[in-house]
């Protein structure tokens, strides 16, 4: 079993690479991507006389600075990584190929300060750990000289202090006194935690202008835990997904567990009482529910019970209300908000699991080993629940992986109906905005969930059926 688990884990690597490469290639060649949108925005700004135009390629938003020249287009292509082949872009996204994270143009002999780390000593003092980088020419040879890191003292403004530490008017005089009579800087070595080479390289030399373009590269990708950066939202993709993933996990796991906890006993009851009134009525209810899409059922439930019995919006109460609740009140509030969405999550797989359990149990009850067990004098409960039910769970175990992926990936339609800002809603917004980094980040999470779910499915299969031994 251990060897099989290791092989399955290793098999996940080519599966992950193949899937992500395929989706990455499709996104890169798809029309109306981020680069095309940026160009359209720039053209629209020029058509409007430069007002409200994009500032891509520089900090000045004037029509002159944003003139769509070949040089600007080439710079924009470089910023979006389109100056490299798709395979290289994919390797950069993975983190196995170095990516340019900063580029500077310096005249010979010019230097600049690179901020490496910001260190907060206390609520009033902040230090910037900086390195000085200089380009020099010695006997026709261009070299980059990096000096040691230095600490620069920076006292936050009164407004910053007041916003961060809730300082009232009575303390302003004390702060001003502190600003003018602060203590000597402490020992620098106590606060320098890291020291690493900044990896600046010479990219281009312009002899005529006496300028050098230097660049700093770093391996920054999936293997480093970096899912990319969303320019539209101004946050790392991992942060955006992390803020929403646990919401989808709450609803997904609740729906997953509820599906199996209800469908298995219901399927057993329907198999034992096959053809009875209970079987017919429950089948009618199950298939009626199955025929209604989850999001449509959500709209129906909100129109009937929303506002009176259950909330209309959100996955929990507002923050100011939530923070004042006790532990048990928070649990009750969470259940109150989650009841209808989880019900909509479950309805899609409810009929499938119930019928699958019923048919599997009925098939096993007709097998010779069941008749043999009855012939030996075993009780009906022991024969059904110890022998037949156990073998009937095998078909359900094989679908655990796909169901886990389906539930945890989130349903953007259900989340949209109930106003849940989960990972499904994030993926929908990313598709509409052509935010490819978020799309790929969601894909990574979904693939990992499905692959781990399939492994759990195989292991569960072996636990249910002792005859199965993976080698």
pLDDT in tens, 346-396: 887 777 888 888 888 888 888 888 888 888 888 888 888 888 888 888 777
Q: Is residue 470 part of a domain?
A: no
pLDDT band with cut points at 50, 70 and 90 for residue 190: very low
Please report, in angstroms and rounded to a whole number, the separation of the first and last CA atoms in the chain: 6
Beta strands per DSSP E along 155-299: 200-206, 211-218, 229-230, 235-236
Q: How far apart are CA 341 and CA 410, in angstroms?
A: 11
* Beta strand residue intervals within 241-281, DSSP E: none
What pLDDT is recorded for position 171?
53
pLDDT at 252: 76
Q: Which long-range contacts (CB under 8 A, 24 or more apart) does 378-385 make?
A: 384/268, 384/272
Sheet holding 211-218, edge to edge: 99-107, 211-218, 200-206
> Are 294 and 400 within one domain?
yes
- Residues contacting 225, CB < 8 A, separation 6+: 238
Task: Quote the number of domains for the chain.
Answer: 3
Q: Is residue 19 part of a domain?
A: no
**What's the pLDDT score for residue 46?**
65
- For residue 427, what pLDDT band results from cuts at 50, 70 and 90? confident
The answer to whether residue 323 is domain-embedded is yes
Question: What is the mean pLDDT of the segment spanning 112-134?
Answer: 63
As given in the structure block, the two tokens for residue 250 are 């709450």
Residues 213 and 133 in one domain: yes
82 and 169: one domain?
Answer: no
pLDDT band at residue 22, thresholds of 50, 70 and 90? very high
| Candidate ranges 247-256, 272-281, 453-462; pick with highest mean pLDDT | 272-281
What stretches of 67-202 show up as alpha helix (H) in DSSP? 70-79, 86-94, 158-165, 172-180
Q: Give me the residues paired with residue 16 across strands.
A: none
* pLDDT at site 454: 80
Whether residue 457 lies inside any domain: the answer is yes
Core vs surface per residue 116-135: b (16+ CB within 10 A) or e: bbebeeeeebbbbbbbebeb
- Indicate whether 202 and 138 sit together in one domain: yes
What is the predicted pLDDT for the residue at 196? Answer: 44
DSSP conformation class of 276 = S
Q: Above 90 in pLDDT, residue 21? A: yes
pLDDT in tens, 265-305: 998 998 888 888 898 998 888 888 778 888 888 888 888 88
Gyration radius of the chain's alpha carbons:
31
Residue 13 is assigned to a structural domain of this protein: no
If asked whether residues 455 and 399 sit together in one domain, one would say yes
Last residue of a domain, one of 155, 184, 218: 218
Write down the H helix ranges in 31-181.
34-47, 70-79, 86-94, 158-165, 172-180
Would 131 be classed as within a structural domain? yes
Whole-angstrom Cα distance, residue 75 to residue 81?
A: 10
Distance CA 66, CA 45 (A): 8
Return the axis-axis angle of helices 237-272 and 423-433, rounded to nearest 10°.
130
Which residues have a Cβ under 8 Å from the Cβ of 320 and sit 6 or more positions away?
none
Cβ count within 10 A of residue 212: 23
275 in the same domain as 332: yes
Say what percent of the chain tops pLDDT 90. 3
**DSSP 8-class letter at 84:** S
Check whether 173 has a pLDDT greater than 80: no
In a domain, 341, yes or no: yes
Domain final residue pick, 97, 130, 149: 97
User: Of 150, 111, 105, 145, which Cα lies nearest the Cα of 128?
Assistant: 150
Q: What's the domain range around 120?
A: 101-218
Q: Is residue 15 part of a domain?
A: no
**C-alpha to C-alpha distance for 341 and 407, rounded to whole angstroms:** 12
Q: Are residues 167 and 278 in the same domain?
A: no
| Structural contact between residues 445 and 423, judged by C-beta atoms closer than 8 angstroms | yes
SS3 assignment, position 220? coil
Quote the mean pLDDT of the chain.
76
Local confidence band at 401 (pLDDT 50, 70, 90 cut-offs): low
Please compute the mean of the pLDDT values over residues 87-95 and round it to a whole number.
90
**pLDDT at 468 (0 to 100):** 66
- 412 and 284 in a common domain: yes
**Residues 48-82: b if buried by 16+ CB within 10 A, e if exposed:** eebeebbebbeeeeeeeebeeeeebeeebeebbbb
Same domain, yes or no, for 276 and 200? no
By the 8 A CB rule, do 417 and 298 touch? yes
Residues 115 and 209 both lie in one domain: yes
Q: Could you tell me if 206 and 244 lie in one domain?
A: no
> 386 and 458 share a domain?
yes
Q: State which of 41, 73, 97 marks the end of a domain.
A: 97
Distance CA 253, CA 260 (A): 11
C-alpha 185/C-alpha 457 separation (Å) is: 59
Identify the CATH number of the domain in which residue 355 sits: 1.10.3720.10
Assigned token pair, 230: 């969303």
296-320 b/e (C-beta count within 10 Å ≥ 16 → b)? ebbeebbeeebeeebbeeebbbeee
pLDDT of residue 471: 60
pLDDT per residue as tens digits for the range 76-85: 787 777 888 8
Helix (H) or strand (E) holding 415: helix 412-418
Contacts of residue 304, defined as CB under 8 A and 6 or more positions apart, other chains included, come to none
């Amino acid at each position: 079993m251990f060897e099989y688990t290791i092989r399955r884990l290793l098999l996940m690597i080519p599966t992950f690479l193949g899937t992500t490469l395929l989706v990455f290639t499709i996104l890169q060649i798809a029309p109306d991507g981020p680069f095309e949108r940026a160009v359209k925005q720039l053209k629209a700004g020029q058509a409007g006389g430069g007002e409200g135009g994009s500032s891509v390629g520089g900090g000045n938003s004037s029509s002159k600075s944003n003139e769509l020249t070949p040089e600007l287009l080439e710079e924009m292509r470089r910023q979006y990584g389109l100056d490299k082949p798709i395979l290289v872009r994919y390797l950069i996204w993975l983190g196995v190929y170095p990516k340019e994270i900063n580029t500077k143009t310096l005249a010979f002999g010019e230097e600049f300060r690179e901020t490496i780390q910001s260190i907060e000593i206390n609520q009033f003092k902040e230090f910037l750990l900086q390195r000085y980088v200089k380009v020099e020419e010695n006997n026709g040879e261009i070299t980059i000289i990096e000096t040691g890191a230095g600490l620069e003292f920076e006292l936050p403004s009164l407004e910053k202090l007041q916003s961060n530490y809730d300082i009232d008017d009575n303390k302003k005089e004390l702060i001003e006194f502190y600003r003018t009579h602060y203590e000597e800087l402490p020992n620098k070595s106590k606060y320098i935690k890291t020291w690493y080479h900044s990896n600046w390289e010479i990219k281009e030399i312009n002899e005529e202008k006496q300028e050098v373009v230097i660049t700093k590269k770093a391996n920054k990708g999936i293997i480093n835990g970096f899912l990319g950066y969303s320019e539209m939202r101004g946050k790392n993709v991992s942060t955006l997904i992390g803020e929403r993933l646990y919401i989808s996990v709450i609803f997904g796991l609740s729906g997953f567990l509820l599906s199996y906890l209800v469908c298995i006993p219901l399927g057993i009851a329907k198999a034992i009482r096959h053809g009875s009134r209970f079987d017919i009525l429950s089948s009618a209810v199950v298939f009626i529910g199955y025929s209604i899409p989850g999001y449509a059922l959500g709209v129906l439930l909100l129109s009937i019970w929303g506002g009176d019995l259950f909330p209309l919006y959100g996955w929990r109460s507002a923050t100011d209300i939530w923070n004042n609740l006790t532990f048990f009140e928070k649990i009750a509030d969470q259940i109150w908000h989650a009841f209808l969405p989880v019900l909509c999550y479950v309805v899609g797989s409810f009929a499938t699991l119930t019928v699958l359990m019923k048919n599997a149990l009925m098939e096993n009850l007709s097998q010779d080993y069941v008749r043999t067990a009855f012939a030996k004098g075993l009780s009906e409960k022991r024969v059904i629940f110890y022998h037949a039910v156990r073998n009937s769970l095998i078909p359900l175990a094989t679908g655990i992986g796909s169901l886990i992926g389906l539930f945890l990936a989130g349903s953007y339609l259900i989340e949209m109906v109930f106003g849940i800002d989960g990972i499904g809603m994030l993926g929908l917004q990313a598709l509409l905005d052509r935010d490819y980094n978020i799309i790929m980040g969601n894909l990574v999470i979904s693939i990992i969930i499905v692959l781990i779910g399939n492994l759990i499915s195989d292991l569960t299969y072996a636990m249910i059926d002792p005859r199965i031994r993976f080698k």
